[in-house]
Amino acid sequence: MGIGKKARNIGHIVEGKAKETTGKALGNKSMQRRGKTEQALGKMRQAVEKGRDTFKH
């Protein structure tokens, strides 16, 4: 997995966690859902990249 893609995926995870935490603090359910979705997106992309690396070598 390239460093850029890995950093971007981790960025999605961190940003999603921040949105989820902020949503909880503010009582904003919509922001919480967006945060969880963004985290899931980052984790899914990271898993896909790891799978590609496994089959590449």
Contact (CB, 8 A) for 48 and 12: no
**In the structure, what pLDDT confidence band is assigned to residue 55 with cuts at 50, 70 and 90?**
confident
Residue with tokens 């922001």: 31
Main-chain dihedrals φ then ψ at residue 28, nearest 5 degrees = -100, 100
Q: For residue range 8-53, what is the model confidence (pLDDT) as tens digits?
A: 999 999 999 999 999 999 999 999 999 999 999 999 999 998 888 8
Q: Give the pLDDT score at 42.
A: 95
Q: Is the pLDDT of residue 57 over 70?
A: no
